Structure 1
Amino acid sequence: MFAYINFPKCFLSFFCYLSISTIAFGQSQKTEQDLLAIMAKYQTVGMSVAVVKNNKIIYTKSLGLKDIAEHTPLANEDIFRIASISKSFTATSLMQLIEAGKFSLDDEFSELIGFKINNPKFPNTKITLRMILSHTSSLSDKNGYFDLDVINPNKNPNWAASYNDYEPGKGYEYCNLNFNLAGTLLEKASGERFDQYVKHHLLDPLGLYGGYCVDSLDNKRFVTLYTYNNEKNIFEPSPEAYAPKSEQISHYIMGYSTPVFSPTGGMKISATDLAKYMMMHMNYGTSNRIKIISKKSAQTMQTKLSDDEGYGLALRQITDLIPGKTLIGHNGDAYGLYSSMFFQPKEKFGIVVITNGCKTSYTNDFNDFLKESIRSLYDNLIAN
């Protein structure tokens, strides 16, 4: 456990790194000063950002600390567990298999996964893959989501507790279990272990460093995540964010043990590489002439299924983050980390913001630290 250290701006400035910049020095300086002010306001441990304008990364910056105890400065090549933004990697991978003719979005999920996925209150309503990927399946996390036994009638007599009271397809509830199931389907249909599939078919083609398997990554690049303890007024590290999975993997069952890698939140990647991945979606499935998914698949992921939630398939639309702009993306929240990836596909701009710990609040269900950081980056680097 470590007390928060309120670093003065001049000290934090020493730990700033700029690897990509096509903007004027004065503009960069103003941007940095504004970010430091936001960090001070929310007592932020560290943050990494990346900004895309006119379809190019124009700015990357890392500020503050990677590790409080070691007093290690945060750098652009460091990687974070990015939480729920990870869901879009899972959905993108599944779109590849749909394009390959393995299944369709409207196939019944029970038939795809190999055991019964059916809301007992609505036994005649099938739950489809589209419902799973859009959080309209009527599944919930109240029974847990860290393994598939919680919903498998063959393993758990209390499986019915994993369902809500509304009919599948006629309601929305954000649910992590949906995407641990989706990741399992990816593994069953591809014959490739989940983490390896994502590496071979998304990360490697795009030239990105990261992945879902902790044991396959350089642990020296992991950014320590911190939760804020309000009672003690300190930041506490969350080592479980990068807990080794060697023991679980040694007993791994293909097509069932997939939640070990957390398809719902376990991607580890830097802000800069996340921005490169974001550009692929911003360009409807293609980046630097490398096609990851078709334009049709990308548009399907980005199209909201209801006006109330704005959620598509692992991507959501949001209209109140930057006034007058409809943005598409996702955010994440786990182990003290807060992350955000949003882009505008027609205007070709996007912003990634990640912090490994801060004392924040929420307005209209959106993290205030992330919102202020995104607006500051937009005002300084994109609007001007």
Structure 2
Amino acid sequence: MSSQLIAQSADFDQKLQAVANKYEAVGLAIVVVKDGAPVYNNAIGYKNLDTKAPLTTDNLFRIASISKSFSSTAIMQLVEKGKISLSDDFSDLVGFKVRNPKFPNTKITLEMVLSHRSSINDSNGYFELDVINPEKNANWAKSYNDYEPGKGYQYCNLNFNMVGAVLERLTNIRFDQYIKQQILSPIGLEAGYCVDSLDQSRFATLYDKQDGVFKAQTSAYNPRSEEIRNYKMGISTPVFSPTGGMKISANDLAKYMMMHMNYGQSGTTKIISKKSSKRMQKGLSSKENYGLALLENFKLIPGEHMIGHTGSAYGLYSNMFFEPKKKFGFIVITNGCVPTMDADDDILLSKEVIRLLYSEFVKK
């Protein structure tokens, strides 16, 4: 089922289907924004391979690492209120010592954590905060790289599970509820991190191709109900996976994207200030151009300066990219495909679909 406000070429549907077929997409959900408003949404393929239920742009996906930007948005709200600063020592915020043992005198700041310049890595895992807590794990030092904090970049999921815990410690509100209260509800999004709070009939099954067969990844929507019943604020936060656990539809992700495209403004509702929004969108690492859970991308569409993020987990590949000055953007999500990559480490399915959408709806 598609909806469009712009006339499309006679062969566009065939071109889109051809790209999906080339990479064996189980399903593909798409929203195109132009001049600051959605002009096209469409879903092809399946929500579930067993039932053959068709995918829609209202189905919920676990969108993986695009989730990180919800935490950084919430952090920027607290920075604006003067409750914290991006230059704060992260140790003071998270409640245990966060120091690279090779550079013990170098403060690891909140900004370094949000921009993956903290020198922290995922070697010890990221599902428990204890892995990096010197008082809880004898091997905590493995969680740090050899370079000085602030002087290098490594993408790290532990960074954002810790940021989620910081939000709880600062607000005394459970992470999933705080994000709903501060971001989701004000924008009007039916989304969230807590599986049991959502309409599970809307979940798109995620598929990973193993040994030539697409296999359902049911653990993607593990409700973690028992862990939530025994929840400890500021400690149990990774249960909700701030780093990758947001469940949201393509349509609602487009609304969230438009808020960032409009520098923090969603209709008449201000989520963050223009200054905070631009801070999030400004790349801080020279090679990666990664900001505060949003990155600058100069290669996705030749000649265009895009802002956004990708996600990949459980066979899903998600994309949220926008051009804030020209007011166009794209949501492209697949719940399973053959993940062929190019020399830029981009998933070709995603890149080819986005370039097709740009040519069809934005460029002409």
Output one character per residue of 1:190-234: Cα deviation in whole Å (capped at 9) or x when no partner. Answer: 1110000111110100011110001111110000000011xx211
Q: Partner amino acid for 1:379?
A: S
**Equivalent residues in 2 for 1:68-87, closer than 5 Å:** 68-87=49-68
Tell me how far apart the structure 1 counterparts of residues 288 and 11 of structure 2 sit (CA, whole Å). 35
Corresponding residue for 2:186?
Answer: 205
The answer to whether the Cα contact below 8 Å between 2:153 and 2:285 also exists between their aligned partners in 1 is no
Matched, 1:369 2:349: yes
**3-state SS, counterpart of residue 149 of structure 2:** coil
Matched, 1:227 2:203: no
Tell me how far apart the structure 1 counterparts of residues 56 and 325 of structure 2 sit (CA, whole Å). 31
Following superposition, the deviation at residue 34 of structure 1 comes to 1.7
Matched, 1:21 2:4: yes
Output one character per residue of 1:90-140: Cα deviation in whole Å (capped at 9) or x when no partner. Answer: 100111111111110000000111100000010000100000000000000
Identity of aligned pairs, percent?
58
Tell me how far apart the structure 2 counterparts of residues 255 and 139 of structure 1 sit (CA, whole Å). 19
Following superposition, the deviation at residue 306 of structure 1 comes to 2.5
Following superposition, the deviation at residue 307 of structure 1 comes to 2.2
The answer to whether the Cα contact below 8 Å between 2:187 and 2:256 also exists between their aligned partners in 1 is yes
The answer to whether the Cα contact below 8 Å between 1:82 and 1:339 also exists between their aligned partners in 2 is yes
The answer to whether the Cα contact below 8 Å between 2:209 and 2:337 also exists between their aligned partners in 1 is yes
The answer to whether the Cα contact below 8 Å between 1:145 and 1:176 also exists between their aligned partners in 2 is yes
Matched, 1:39 2:20: yes
1:335 counterpart (292, 314, 317): 314
Following superposition, the deviation at residue 84 of structure 1 comes to 0.2
Q: Partner amino acid for 2:89?
A: E
1:142 counterpart (123, 126, 132): 123
Tell me how far apart the structure 1 counterparts of residues 64 and 14 of structure 2 sit (CA, whole Å). 28
1:301 counterpart (270, 280, 284): 280
**Equivalent residues in 2 for 1:306-321, closer than 5 Å:** 306-321=285-300
Tell me how far apart the structure 2 counterparts of residues 377 and 335 of structure 1 sit (CA, whole Å). 25
Tell me how far apart the structure 2 counterparts of residues 138 and 173 of structure 1 sit (CA, whole Å). 7
Tell me how far apart the structure 1 counterparts of residues 35 and 359 of structure 2 sit (CA, whole Å). 15
Matched, 1:256 2:239: no
1:274 counterpart (242, 253, 257): 253
Corresponding residue for 1:215?
Answer: 196
Corresponding residue for 1:323?
Answer: 302
Tell me how far apart the structure 1 counterparts of residues 13 and 280 of structure 2 sit (CA, whole Å). 34
The answer to whether the Cα contact below 8 Å between 1:97 and 1:190 also exists between their aligned partners in 2 is no
Corresponding residue for 1:115?
Answer: 96
2:81 counterpart (92, 100, 115): 100
The answer to whether the Cα contact below 8 Å between 1:31 and 1:377 also exists between their aligned partners in 2 is no
Corresponding residue for 1:159?
Answer: 140
Matched, 1:287 2:270: no
1:241 counterpart (220, 244, 266): 220
Matched, 1:62 2:43: yes
Number of aligned residue pairs: 363
The answer to whether the Cα contact below 8 Å between 1:133 and 1:179 also exists between their aligned partners in 2 is yes
Corresponding residue for 1:196?
Answer: 177
The answer to whether the Cα contact below 8 Å between 2:152 and 2:285 also exists between their aligned partners in 1 is no
Tell me how far apart the structure 2 counterparts of residues 249 and 122 of structure 1 sit (CA, whole Å). 36
Tell me how far apart the structure 2 counterparts of residues 30 and 277 of structure 1 sit (CA, whole Å). 30
Tell me how far apart the structure 2 counterparts of residues 252 and 165 of structure 1 sit (CA, whole Å). 34
Q: Partner amino acid for 1:216?
A: S
**3-state SS, counterpart of residue 11 of structure 2:** helix
The answer to whether the Cα contact below 8 Å between 1:301 and 1:312 also exists between their aligned partners in 2 is yes
Where structure 2 has 5 or more consecutive residues not aligned to the other structure, the ranges are: none
Following superposition, the deviation at residue 30 of structure 1 comes to 3.5
Moved over 3 A (4+): none
**3-state SS, counterpart of residue 318 of structure 2:** strand
The answer to whether the Cα contact below 8 Å between 1:194 and 1:258 also exists between their aligned partners in 2 is yes
Output one character per residue of 1:307-334: Cα deviation in whole Å (capped at 9) or x when no partner. Answer: 2111000000010110100100000000
**3-state SS, counterpart of residue 286 of structure 2:** coil
Tell me how far apart the structure 2 counterparts of residues 37 and 93 of structure 1 sit (CA, whole Å). 40
- Structure-2-length-normalised TM-score: 0.98
- Structure-1-length-normalised TM-score: 0.93
Output one character per residue of 1:173-200: Cα deviation in whole Å (capped at 9) or x when no partner. Answer: 0000000011110111011100001111
Tell me how far apart the structure 2 counterparts of residues 360 and 150 of structure 1 sit (CA, whole Å). 31
The answer to whether the Cα contact below 8 Å between 2:193 and 2:246 also exists between their aligned partners in 1 is yes
Q: Partner amino acid for 1:370?
A: S
Corresponding residue for 1:13?
Answer: none
Tell me how far apart the structure 1 counterparts of residues 91 and 266 of structure 2 sit (CA, whole Å). 34
Tell me how far apart the structure 2 counterparts of residues 240 and 155 of structure 1 sit (CA, whole Å). 27
2:159 counterpart (164, 178, 187): 178
Tell me how far apart the structure 2 counterparts of residues 307 and 58 of structure 1 sit (CA, whole Å). 34
Tell me how far apart the structure 1 counterparts of residues 4 and 94 of structure 2 sit (CA, whole Å). 46
The answer to whether the Cα contact below 8 Å between 1:331 and 1:338 also exists between their aligned partners in 2 is yes
Corresponding residue for 2:361?
Answer: 381
Tell me how far apart the structure 1 counterparts of residues 355 and 168 of structure 2 sit (CA, whole Å). 38
Output one character per residue of 1:15-66: Cα deviation in whole Å (capped at 9) or x when no partner. Answer: xx12x42112x43x53322211111100110010000000010011011000
**3-state SS, counterpart of residue 211 of structure 1:** coil
